[in-house]
Amino acid sequence: MQNKTKVLMDESVKEPVTMTGAQALMESMVNEGVEILFGYPGGAIMPVYDSLYSYREKLNHILVRHEQGAVHAAQGYARATGRVGVSLVTSGPAATNAVTGIADAMIDSTPVVVISGQVGSALLGTDAFQETDVVGITQPVTKWNYQITRAEEIPWAISRAFYIARTGRPGPVLIDITKDAQFGLLEYKYQPMKSIRSYTPYPIIDPGQIEEAARLINLSKKPLALIGQGVVIAGAEKELTGFLEKTGIPAAMTLLGLSALPSDHRLNVGGLGMHGNYGPNIKTNDADLIIGIGMRFDDRITADTKRYATNAKIIHMDIDPAEINKIIHADAPVLGDVKESLPMLTEKVSINNHDEWLEEFNACYRVEYERLIERELYPEKPDLTMAEVVRRVSMAYGDDAIMVTDVGQHQMVAWRYFKFRQSRSVITSGGLGTMGFGLPAAIGAKLGRPDRPVVLFVGDGGFQMTIQELGTIYQSKVPVKIVLLNNNFLGMVRQWQELFFDHRYASTELINPDFQTISKGYFIPSVKVTERDKLDDAVRQMVDEEGPFLLEVVVEKEGNVFPMVPAGASVADIILE
């Protein structure tokens, strides 16, 4: 029988070509500039994987070991590159396994397109084998989702999916494709999406808002800028630097915004929030003006909102109107892409310096260094601290690696002691706090940026949640460096139990496996460090290794992360020890 389908591999062909829905999906990926897919095959997505076989030279498929890992890897890729990450999963349990990654991408504004297979359209709603209503399940945690039941819908839906995922405030999109739509024929012609009625990803900036913000800045004596991931997403790092250097305003960083400004910039006064630096927290209530730039005033930043920035006017610069006045009332909202609004604001503000105000932050840092940082980096006790490990690894890479973390104590320590020279160097789960995020995200980051070293910091708890992705590292030869900070505890939960639950360590101590044996089983070189005098040589060995490497460091068993703003307290109530 003559084959009625044809794979469109010649990009110069402009006329419609007959092909299957599965082939149309692959061709649409190529047209969107996709180079890497993270996925796991199964029955309901099998036609797509069959078509993918013919696209091996154009689309590099990374076979993960779990669907959650597929989405986290796509997130890591997206965050490291600024491009849309793509995942392929089948129906039923595969689609539900992907939900955690989708939810994580939603709250952290990560552009991801997840393609899920679905049972045939005739079986929808019959509780067929491996049928789940993934569109209904993911509606609250996607920027847009859609179910395709006809092959003809695929080019339109995919172009729309990528446009929505990457524009405005980015986010995840899920496209669910029934199996018969994958087999069905269509006349394929691709048209990239350029606009959607009723969807305005880039609000028109109101000059009046710029004028009012500039007026407040020019009147301010103690302004403080809060820098979020929105600056990184917009690619507005140079615009931010220009604004800060003209005004002389000190800048504090959120967890996801951390690398938007180099760590050693004179106006960078450190991290914000529950485990942020001492100065940015206590000085929040001394400031007379707070300028939130591409951040959302998350509860980990504000603590008790009734006692937050009590003496300050608020300027809030954000692309998402839903964030304005959601948590903190803005006296001067500036709605728009900060890539555009920051230069407009910089043009209107006066040249200034706030050196005396900046010195107050520097004085706070000296207090924090003497009371906390020095003993964390240069401890007199025999047990290794997470801080000294993180700092030595950062220095070994010239403070210029991409830092990926899992979630927990190690995440906060890495945030505090890893340093940065360039943007898109921090990849971590912020809003959702997903344990298990780190390992697959590091894989995606390294595949997206093979030109940069990628270092993962992970705890023994989070590591075991997605430890199977070591198989992906081995099979795909991904040279990720893994620093496992092992304290045999679910450390962050244990810290709260110590401080607020009278040392009742309920179900937080871990009896761990031999991680060195596991690493050997995946053919990944590794070394375990238990003594301080062995640390530098082990770090050097990791840096020198061309391929993947696991550095396991046994750290103090009951170490705590300070500073800390207790739950329900004011940011001014931050404790140093």
Catalytic residues: 67, 129-130, 179, 492
d(Cα 109, Cα 57) in Å, to the nearest integer?
Answer: 30
The 426-427 sheet, strands edge to edge:
426-427, 402-405, 454-459, 481-486, 549-554, 526-529
- Tally Cβ neighbours within 10 Å of residue 130: 16
Nearest to 255 by CA among 223, 301, 317, 206: 301
Residue 125 φ/ψ region, left for φ over 0, alpha for ψ in the -120 to 50 degree band, beta for the rest = left
End-to-end CA distance of the chain: 77
Nearest to 117 by CA among 130, 127, 104, 106: 130
Give me the residues paired with residue 227 across strands.
253, 293
Nearest to 106 by CA among 133, 69, 80, 78: 78
Nearest to 241 by CA among 221, 225, 223, 254: 225
- Tally Cβ neighbours within 10 Å of residue 320: 17
Q: Is the dihedral of CA 408, 410, 412, 418 positive or negative?
A: negative
Nearest to 155 by CA among 183, 132, 189, 179: 189
Q: How far lies 322's CA from each of 316, 325, 335, in Å?
A: 12, 8, 10
Nearest to 473 by CA among 491, 456, 497, 496: 456
* DSSP at 564: B
Count of alpha carbons within 13 angstroms of residue 533, beta-carbon side: 0
Task: Specify the 3-state DSSP secondary structure of 97.
Answer: helix
